[in-house]
Amino acid sequence: MISLEDWALIRHLHRSEGLSQRAIARQLGIARDTVASALASDGPPKYERAAVPSAINEVEPRIRALLTAYPQLPATVIAERVGWTGSISWFRERVRAIRPEYLPADPVDRLEHPPGRVIQCDLWFPAPKIAVGFGQESILPVLVMVAAFSRFIAAVMLPSRQTMDLVAGMWQLLSGSFAAVPRELWWDNEAGIGRRGRLTDPVTALVGTLGARLVQLRPYDPESKGMVERANRYLETSFLPGRSFTSPQDFNDQLQQWLPVANSRRVRVLDGRPIDFLDADRAQMLRLPPVPPVTETVASVRLGRDYYVRVAGNDYSVDPAAIGQLVDVTTTLTQVTVSRAGRLLAAHERCWAARQTLTDPAHVQAAATLRQQFHAGPAPQAGAHLLRDLADYDRAFGVDFSTGTVTSDGEVA
């Protein structure tokens, strides 16, 4: 087979130098048929390997029959069904090449995001475990929100993925980082947001207060919120490497210092920086509501004799003076407070660890005082005992000590 260089040289000598086929063959020392073939071809020569019979060709019809009925059938199961005994790696490659012919097409449209319309939301779980106190470490969720038009990123680490923590996190980022409310918030099927087409009550209350709309995307549709997915990968590859964290607060502090740098990077699709497009995005968003939404959990419980209340698996002490009474337990991202009729009974920093007991020494001292009073019994009060004149008993029994006679008729008054 003639080489690509010889083919190019033959055509040059014939077309540019005007040499005949005989002269070209003599000059290059090749056969005239080779020269004629090179001049007659429309394109450069290509090496084509002769087809060699393969064992997989014999079972391919059965592979296709199985894929016709079961497009998602694993390659290992197909190999077992067709009796394949050769290399499983080669078999997988062949099935991978054939399978798309039998899968239904799932095209993805390119989405247009005008300013102020959409913020995409997702939870990112950074791999390093964070120290949460009491010798415990946990992998905690980070709420990531990305404005679809400006690509502006906001994020904060949360104590859990429970509904009220998600609500509080969304409000914190909307009111702080964005200072505005988009027309729509896009989420995947996160359980704390809603399931089966129905939002949780706190989330419904949040979007009602904001005047926005929350859209839960269909399952297995990651392309619809690809911006926040890319932001998660960007955090994974650009924020985490080379960092260590002593606590969730330390994580959030470092994250808030890094985000301005991230939002000042140049984004190719914008041909600019997200921070430069944020004002145009924010101008088309809704204003923050005049009354903040409810972002705290309030539960009413009766305080038991051990004067502790349980919140997210941890126990917090309460003023024992409220034992037996209904108290209101309020939980935020950072604090747990207990009150009754406007009177504060306890205030604790929220513990992000699990199975812990948080005790205020003042509550223990108050409990000891109440316990002593209970065992001592009530203190005697002045005038509490009645004193009766003894002459009343003499008259009741008919005894007259002045004369020494008894006038009683035998009945006792």
Q: What is the pLDDT of residue 134?
A: 93
Give the CA count within 13 Å in the CB-facing half-sphere of 21. 10
Q: What is the pLDDT of residue 374?
A: 87
Task: Report the distance separating Cα 322 and Cα 304, nearest Å.
Answer: 9
- Are the C-beta atoms of residues 336 and 329 closer than 8 Å to each other? yes
Q: Are strands 198-199 and 308-311 parallel, antiparallel or unpaired?
A: unpaired
Give the CA count within 13 Å in the CB-facing half-sphere of 173. 27
Q: Residue 257: in which H helix or E strand, if any?
A: helix 248-262
Distance from chain centroid for Cα 216: 14
Predicted TM-score (pTM) above 0.95? no
**Residue with tokens 């409990």, as numbered in its chain:** 367
- Are the C-beta atoms of residues 308 and 323 closer than 8 Å to each other? no
Q: What is the pLDDT of residue 142?
A: 98
pLDDT one digit per residue (tens) for the chain, 413 residues: 678 888 888 888 888 888 888 888 888 888 888 888 888 887 787 767 766 677 888 899 999 999 999 999 999 999 999 999 888 998 999 999 999 999 887 776 777 899 999 999 999 999 989 999 999 999 999 999 999 999 999 999 999 999 999 999 999 999 999 999 999 999 999 999 998 889 999 999 999 999 999 999 887 676 788 899 999 999 999 999 999 999 999 999 999 999 999 999 999 999 999 999 999 999 999 999 999 999 999 999 999 999 999 999 999 999 999 999 999 999 999 999 999 999 999 999 999 999 999 999 999 999 999 999 988 877 666 655 556 666 776 677 676 666 655 555 555 44
Task: Report the distance separating Cα 36 and Cα 21, nearest Å.
Answer: 7
Q: What is the pLDDT of residue 287?
A: 96
Q: What is the pLDDT of residue 413?
A: 45
Q: Are strands 130-133 and 399-400 parallel, antiparallel or unpaired?
A: unpaired
What one-character-per-residue DSSP string does 266-318 give?
PBTTTTB-HHHHHHHHHHTSBPPPSSPPP-SEEEEEE--TT-EEEETTEEEE-
Q: What is the pLDDT of residue 5?
A: 86
Q: Can you give the C-alpha Rg of the chain in angstroms?
A: 42
Q: What is the pLDDT of residue 7?
A: 84
Q: Residue 252: in which H helix or E strand, if any?
A: helix 248-262
What one-character-per-residue DSSP string does 12-30 give?
HHHHTS---HHHHHHHHT-
